[in-house]
Structure 1
Amino acid sequence: MSTSAFDIAAIGDGLAFAAALGDLDAALESSAVVVSAPPGTGKTTLVPPVLANRSTGRVIVTQPRRVAARAAARRLAQLDGSAVGTRIGFTVRGERQVASDTRIEFVTAGVLLRRLLSDPGLDGVDAVILDEVHERALETDLLIGLLGEVRELRDDLALVAMSATLDAEKVAAVIGADAAPAPIVTQTVPQHPLEERWAPSPAPRLDERGVTRGFLDHVAGVAASAGLDLFRADPDADVLVFAPGAREVSEIARRIQQISDEVDVRELHGQMPAAAQDAVIRGRSVHEPPRIMVTTSLAESSLTVPGVRLVVDTCLSRYPQRDAARGMSGLVTGPTSRASAVQRAGRATRLGPGTVIRCVDERTFAAAPARPTPEIATTDLTDAALLLACWGAPGGAGLCLLDPMPADNLRDALSVLRGLGAIDDDGRATAEGHELARVPADPRLGRALRDGSALVGARFAAEVVALLSGEARIADGDIGSALVAMRNGRTPDSRSWTQEVTRLLRSAPAAPAGPTAPTTDDVGLVVALAFPDRIARRVDRSAHGATFLLASGTRAGVSGPLADAEWLAVADVSRAQGRAAGGTGAVIRAGAAISEEQVEQAAGHLITDRTEADFVDGRVIARRERRVGAIVRSSVPVRAQAGDGGHDAVRRAIEQKGLGVFTWSDAADELRRRLALLHRELGAPWPDVSDAALLDDLDTWLGPELDSLASGAPAARIDLTPALRRLLPWPAASELDALVPERLEVPSGSRVRVVYPPLDDPAARPVVAVKLQECFGWAETPRLVGGRVPVLFHLLSPAGRPLAVTDDLASFWSGPYAQVRAEMRGRYPKHPWPEDPWDAVPTRHTKSRAGRE
């Protein structure tokens, strides 16, 4: 490997970050550093060669996006005077320009994650730089955790986390070593003046279908008008317009071009071919017309677009969001965080004074979130969970992450992986899981490639998977038609799709050849192999579309040609409102027709043929049902019997309906409350009797009763008291009455019932309601559960009305009792109200009757 030094002075000439190189050199003595500097200061250009000059191995620099990795490599190679792919190279999905002696390699975070699985020690690598950490992309967050473990074994590996806007102290604490935070290098530069303008739209920005046409018209008009004014004053300036997604980019660009043909309107988003992206970020020559560039958040911080002096911001972003209730993830459009909006505006002031026009009013802007939500908190975690399982840290156990994985999202991801056979019951990766992790795609798509190769042939499976894993738009949501268009080269994405197919074929298993001529009718099979829980059956049809029920239980609407299918294999379903959603709250964005035979091929593990039960008027009604997950294929009434699947059917019905199907007797309710208090105070071996715990363990405590219900017994006649007693732990059960007695003896000799707190009020106390006169002289308040829980006394009048509530009887007799006596002895003269309750004889009777006893 070439070890000739980089000329830092030449590379850093004119870059603001050059002033911080002394601080950087000093900080690098600790091997872990946090760098925080504004966009355009040159940190991405200068820090990598500085690290390369300190080592003989390779320096890897991660970027969140492919276009940024390519652009950074080309910029640094240009300043170095070398060709890309020699001293400086890059590796992104589908493209690699690296030589054996490359010193600095720019990669996407995903590329480095996959590389770590095959080379956990990063042999030959001396430093890793994680750029744009502030974006909180999931893959970058994972790299922080994994590289922390690598550095425990390799104290010679330098790690630098860089960002424009960064919670530096938090990152420094996580990547530091020996309980000491990493040093922070901060470089600030005088900001060029920024003029802020506000141009709120008369039309709403969003409706149930997404970004409105009226708002797109408004943004295009603002950009065209302000751009033309700018170009007259400064012909060398360009305009950058931020939109939430690729569709809006194209719509705004088309509208601007219709307004004015005097400018060069360019699009910039992740779905464009690499060459077209690179052409935009290279800038323009003096002979080319002014440009209005419409982009997604891609240009927000991870790359620099030269010449921009005006930014027009929709103040909208598109980000992943998990809908736990429907078990699906998707991209949603919402307000841009204020931190991201500041990043966008900063693109106008890199070289001099600039202007930002925000297409909202100041109040709407102030109401936006302060920072973007970390992707780890909102996105589908299936791929991440498989990677961590292969790494040996299931669920991220033991890793130092900036934020933990949300429990609900992680649980769903692990469920998917178990269904794929990728992890075992303990969350460890299986051999199949390691195989799927080597496929450069989501694990579900990896399964489709692997299993689909045997059914339809490797090339056909790879073609469908490449289409699903890419960013190409699928017209009308019809994957089959989109595949035909790709094959015929009729879309701008055909070239990148072809490259992805070739890449996937290298990962396809050496399976027996499938059909020699698969057709578009087989597209649905490959889709279903990836997403068997999204197989869907049409349940309703209207003039506006159709409603489908997914195997997962979600209902979703669809319009267009897919509405005519009886069965669909769905690749993309997301939250939405309006006519297309058919009132379901979800819409199918991409799918393909599938036959019932293909359903059985792809989702055999979801197919059941069994008795199902329901409670109608308190009795079990049973049917024999054939299902694909939640989809009922056929249903026939049957007589439920305990020995013919009826027991299991009743159990499932109770799990679905809840314990409210039963009538709880006072005895059963009291026993459950007593057990709940013991579990809350003592824990094991006393059982958890919450609804969730009882429903999870029905066979243990309710087994005989399930058989009775299956045989026709009404739920109202089921006595739950003996059923709950089956949960009593032996031999500890012999202490039940001593720890939580049903009744408590008071000084008068009465045995008064103890009312235990309800399950939904854990702060409540056991209560004894007793006449005040029965407790005269009682100083020590009784305590239950081995002295842990004091009893709360409701001291009653002779008529049974509350006079006082206390858990400190001694204090009551010495204080408040005197006031109670003054108020009550005239009202109840036949009952004793002694001046000194300590010497009085406790009684439940009147004074005359007490005197005769």
Structure 2
Amino acid sequence: MQFPIASLLPEIAASLAAHPRLVLEAPPGAGKTTQLPLALLDAAWLGDRKIVMLEPRRVAARAAAGFMAKQLGETVGETVGYRIRFENKVGAHTRIEVVTEGILTRMLQDDPLLDGVGALLFDEFHERHLAGDLGLALALDVQAGLREDLRIVLMSATLDGEKIAGFLDAPRLSSAGRSFPVEVAHFPARREEAIEHQAKRAIEHALAAHPGDLLVFLPGQREIARVDAVLAAAGIDADVLALHGELPVEQQGRVLQPAADGRRRVVLATNVAESSVTLPGVRVVIDSGQAREPRFDPNSGFARLDVVAISQASADQRAGRAGRVAEGWAYRLWPQSQRLEPQRRPEIAQVELASLALELAAWGSAALRFVDPPPAGAMASARDLLRRLDALDARHAITARGRRMLALGTHPRLAAMLLASDDPSRMALACDIAALVEARDPLRTRSDAVAERRQALAAFRNGRVGADASRSALAAIDAAAKQWRRRLRCDAPPPADAPAHAVGDLLAHAFPDRIGRQHPQDPKRYALANGRMARLFDDSALYGEPWLVASELRFEAKDALLLRGAPLDEAYLRQAFAAHFREGDEVRWDANRRALASERIERFDGIVLSSKSAGRVDPALAAQALVDAVRELGVGALPWSEALAQWRVRVQCLRGWMPGLGLPDLSDAALLASLDRWLTPAFDGKTRLDALDEAELGEALKAGVDWSQRQRIDQLAPTRILVPSGMERRIDYALDDHGEPASPVLAVKLQELFGMNETPRVAEGRIPLTIHLLSPGGRPLQVTQDLRGFWERTYPEVKKEMKGRYPRHPWPDDPWNATATHRAKPRG
């Protein structure tokens, strides 16, 4: 079989011989996934080393390895093999390894030299999974510092090739694809029609109107099951097959092979069929326009798969699947008026980053080159969580426990729980809980008790499935728990019965920030370790528990709503989390009394267990409490003199006008964010907010500005200016409502400016003053930034009007050459 990419392979080989990086754009069907690795096996620069190809999806990884092995007349595990989570088919002589994203990260972390690897191929890079972005960043770091000979190739059908090639400083090559015309139409939904019924109508229409097999893109397994059910009820004349990442390998293989008996097929697939998987015989694509993609879910603390609209690039790629073997048809199940985003947003911008932060800590550097850098706020939150889990120390360095967590290849929360006990029975229970937390809910009821789900799993293992439980979901959870026991080398069987407290005691290691204690006045409310409050459902199964841990919360404006959790044993908590219990004197700001209060407080993290007055305020603790008071009240609570407030505004103006000066940001937000640094020393030894005077505040504020910068501020933004009358007049500086510099104002009597032809300026002549020209009585006559224009055009009218009103003041016909004065009659 000849693939379109074949003609480009010599040029690709030549490019990689001359340059260590390459961006390859090739449409679906071009053969890049299965032909390029084989073509590179004989490259001189590769020698006898391996090629590792990153394939984001397990289905595609197995399929690609299988197809390449078949081309060589071998079985998988010989020259070509694959490694995915919980599955390894690689032999001693394997030279092409197809791996999923987490596997590549582990390879790089375990052996940064990548000994024995000559090339890394990143397939379908346009999907922009977090693990793929991290893998590329690590690979570029290895290439820059250790392995200049390592080849890195990024491949995709719908890649922003120009941007990526510029980022990599790499050549960019494009291959033709094998495609036929595809006619695209939008298949209208009926009013309030469910997606499965709209899909059924589209499938029936396509089977009647067009030849060939059908490929139907649906968001996930749930939707596949619903469409399968309505098609079964309709009795359509075709084989209906599912395709998603959780299917057994045998069933996936059946879908990827042509029908032996020639019957037509309807393949119900997730977006695993969007790329890198070829489905023979497909002539019609029916696209729901939706996919399940990771989004950070603050309720659970994990990235969850949410149903979202696909990008335009994905829609085009899906439609192209209908034109692989002949002309085809694509039906879109969304209105033609609906506009899609051009490209898929990278996961790094929208998921929780604890796993990434732990990987970077293990690597020893966060200064890696990412196509899109991780958001600073998300990284700070991730590191805070990792410190709670004892995976990082106070300097953000990885701990020994953090390395053990990383080796498990799961979210750090779950890894912390899986490592919480060496007791085999508790380890087996932890495996069950990890599988339950990761999976979709197996119960159809609204119960908030995790223990009930564990009981349903135990019943399933004994052959009983309750009416409110999903057999398929429990089967998947049971399989995942077995994999975890295998990974942990845990030989103990999962306990048939586990007390609810045992479940909660383990969950506490995954969610230490969500440990809660019952409020003494309201039994449905709980104070959480992270300082927030949570409340129970009215019919909560957890009602009355003094301590609990929440594995899932819905965050709301006031109290979070506990969606799922388990009770905790306080004795276990005090033993396992002893370092989180502490007692000591604390000084806080009492807003009602507007004074400091000293208390002896016992805490569990952010939960106050008991408090009593400690009497006199300890000065050693007072400074921080006063700073906290300012943080609560705002910087306006400080004793600002008019001169100091103006100095602060002058600095802010110069920052806007002349950013090259490098002056500090003195906005309210910046000052509040840095209170501990600049204000705490000023409160040293003080126990009252009003004990800080204006001079001390000024010194604290100006401490971050050295003497030479202070001199420049006075030169560039002077507070006063000498006018022709011989007097110094004040310049007022201000910021607008958005915090941007406004034009500085000089208010001066008109007679004091006789002889001044040009508008005075500050900031090395860049900024003209706004002159408020006043009458002899101090009333405004004119506002201008064009003094010359005022003398030429406006002054004659002003003189005519004012001369009779102020006859004792000069109103010369020639203000250009008149003597300026601040008096009623000039001397002499």
Gaps of 5+ in 1: 1-12, 204-214, 576-580
The alignment partner of 1:727 has SS state of helix
Closer, same or farther: CA 466–734 of 1 in aligned 2, 3 Å: closer
Residue in structure 2 matched with residue 135 of structure 1 by the alignment: 127
The one-letter amino acid of 1:416's match is: L
Residue in structure 1 matched with residue 753 of structure 2 by the alignment: 775
Contact 1:462 1:504 in 2 (8 A): no
Instruction: Give the 5 Å matches for 1:164-243.
Output: 164-176=157-169, 181-203=170-192, 215=193, 218-231=194-207, 237-243=212-218
The one-letter amino acid of 1:24's match is: I
Contact 1:90 1:98 in 2 (8 A): yes
Provide the rounded CA distance (Å) in 1 between the counterparts of 2:175 and 2:804.
81
RMSD in angstroms over aligned alpha carbons? 4.2
The one-letter amino acid of 1:321's match is: R
The alpha carbon displacement at 1:726 in A equals 3.3
Residue in structure 2 matched with residue 842 of structure 1 by the alignment: 820
The alignment partner of 1:655 has SS state of helix
The alignment partner of 1:616 has SS state of coil
Are 1:159 and 2:136 matched, yes or no?
A: no
The alpha carbon displacement at 1:16 in A equals 3.4
The one-letter amino acid of 1:382's match is: A
Residue in structure 2 matched with residue 107 of structure 1 by the alignment: 99
Instruction: Give the 5 Å matches for 1:24-423.
Output: 24-30=12-18, 31-54=20-43, 55=46, 56-152=48-144, 153-176=146-169, 181-203=170-192, 215=193, 218-231=194-207, 237-260=212-235, 264-282=239-257, 284-286=259-261, 290-322=264-296, 330-364=304-338, 367-394=339-366, 397=367, 399-423=368-392
The one-letter amino acid of 1:133's match is: F
Q: Which moved more, 1:154-163 or 1:236-245?
A: 236-245
Contact 1:781 1:791 in 2 (8 A): yes
Residue in structure 1 matched with residue 515 of structure 2 by the alignment: 535
The Cα offsets for residues 581-600 of structure 1, whole Å up to 9 and x where unpaired, read as 7x879765654333444555
Provide the rounded CA distance (Å) in 2 between the counterparts of 1:827 and 1:323.
73
The alpha carbon displacement at 1:76 in A equals 2.2
Q: Which moved more, 1:668-677 or 1:38-47?
A: 668-677
Contact 2:126 2:156 in 1 (8 A): yes
Task: Find the partner of 1:746 among 710, 720, 723.
Answer: 723
The alignment partner of 2:201 has SS state of helix
The alpha carbon displacement at 1:631 in A equals 4.8
Q: Which moved more, 1:558-567 or 1:84-93?
A: 558-567
Task: Find the partner of 2:635 among 637, 656, 659.
Answer: 659
Identity of aligned residues (%): 34
The alignment partner of 2:114 has SS state of coil
Closer, same or farther: CA 135–758 of 1 in aligned 2, 3 Å: same
The alignment partner of 2:171 has SS state of coil
Residue in structure 2 matched with residue 9 of structure 1 by the alignment: none
Closer, same or farther: CA 815–60 of 1 in aligned 2, 3 Å: same
Provide the rounded CA distance (Å) in 1 between the counterparts of 2:221 and 2:516.
28
Closer, same or farther: CA 499–34 of 1 in aligned 2, 3 Å: farther
**TM-score between the two structures when normalised by the length of structure 2:** 0.83
Contact 2:436 2:477 in 1 (8 A): no
Provide the rounded CA distance (Å) in 1 between the counterparts of 2:451 and 2:665.
52
Closer, same or farther: CA 497–584 of 1 in aligned 2, 3 Å: farther
Provide the rounded CA distance (Å) in 1 between the counterparts of 2:9 and 2:662.
62
Residue in structure 2 matched with residue 570 of structure 1 by the alignment: 550
Closer, same or farther: CA 52–565 of 1 in aligned 2, 3 Å: farther
The Cα offsets for residues 368-413 of structure 1, whole Å up to 9 and x where unpaired, read as 212111111111222122222322331xx2x333222222222222
The one-letter amino acid of 1:202's match is: R
The one-letter amino acid of 1:300's match is: E
Contact 2:179 2:325 in 1 (8 A): no
Provide the rounded CA distance (Å) in 2 between the counterparts of 1:247 and 1:342.
24
The one-letter amino acid of 1:285's match is: A
The Cα offsets for residues 780-802 of structure 1, whole Å up to 9 and x where unpaired, read as 76666787766443222334444
Residue in structure 2 matched with residue 7 of structure 1 by the alignment: none
Closer, same or farther: CA 426–358 of 1 in aligned 2, 3 Å: same
Residue in structure 2 matched with residue 796 of structure 1 by the alignment: 774
Provide the rounded CA distance (Å) in 1 between the counterparts of 2:82 and 2:767.
66
Residue in structure 2 matched with residue 460 of structure 1 by the alignment: 429
The alignment partner of 1:492 has SS state of helix
Closer, same or farther: CA 704–731 of 1 in aligned 2, 3 Å: closer
Contact 1:551 1:628 in 2 (8 A): yes
Residue in structure 2 matched with residue 20 of structure 1 by the alignment: 8
The alignment partner of 1:317 has SS state of strand
Instruction: Give the 5 Å matches for 1:484-523.
Output: 484-486=455-457, 488-489=460-461, 491-494=474-477, 496-506=479-489, 519-523=499-503
Residue in structure 1 matched with residue 624 of structure 2 by the alignment: 648
The alpha carbon displacement at 1:548 in A equals 6.3
The alpha carbon displacement at 1:253 in A equals 3.2
Contact 1:665 1:719 in 2 (8 A): no
Residue in structure 1 matched with residue 466 of structure 2 by the alignment: none
Gaps of 5+ in 2: 462-470
The alpha carbon displacement at 1:286 in A equals 1.7
How many residues are paired up?
797
The alignment partner of 2:51 has SS state of strand
Instruction: Give the 5 Å matches for 1:702-741.
Output: 719-720=693-694, 722-729=696-703, 735=711, 738-739=714-715
The one-letter amino acid of 1:774's match is: E
Residue in structure 2 matched with residue 8 of structure 1 by the alignment: none
Q: Which moved more, 1:335-344 or 1:719-728?
A: 719-728
Residue in structure 2 matched with residue 208 of structure 1 by the alignment: none
Contact 1:453 1:460 in 2 (8 A): no
Closer, same or farther: CA 107–70 of 1 in aligned 2, 3 Å: same
Provide the rounded CA distance (Å) in 1 between the counterparts of 2:231 and 2:143.
51
The one-letter amino acid of 2:452's match is: S
Contact 2:588 2:596 in 1 (8 A): no
Provide the rounded CA distance (Å) in 2 between the counterparts of 1:150 and 1:699.
38
Contact 1:132 1:163 in 2 (8 A): yes
Contact 1:767 1:792 in 2 (8 A): yes
Residue in structure 2 matched with residue 6 of structure 1 by the alignment: none
Provide the rounded CA distance (Å) in 2 between the counterparts of 1:246 and 1:794.
72
Closer, same or farther: CA 587–99 of 1 in aligned 2, 3 Å: farther
The one-letter amino acid of 1:189's match is: R
Contact 2:587 2:596 in 1 (8 A): no
Task: Find the partner of 1:437 among 406, 413, 434.
Answer: 406
The alpha carbon displacement at 1:95 in A equals 0.4
Contact 1:51 1:127 in 2 (8 A): no
Provide the rounded CA distance (Å) in 2 between the counterparts of 1:350 and 1:547.
59
Q: Which moved more, 1:444-453 or 1:325-334?
A: 325-334
The alpha carbon displacement at 1:93 in A equals 0.5
Contact 1:547 1:558 in 2 (8 A): yes
Residue in structure 1 matched with residue 744 of structure 2 by the alignment: 766
Provide the rounded CA distance (Å) in 1 between the counterparts of 2:694 and 2:247.
65
Contact 2:199 2:333 in 1 (8 A): no
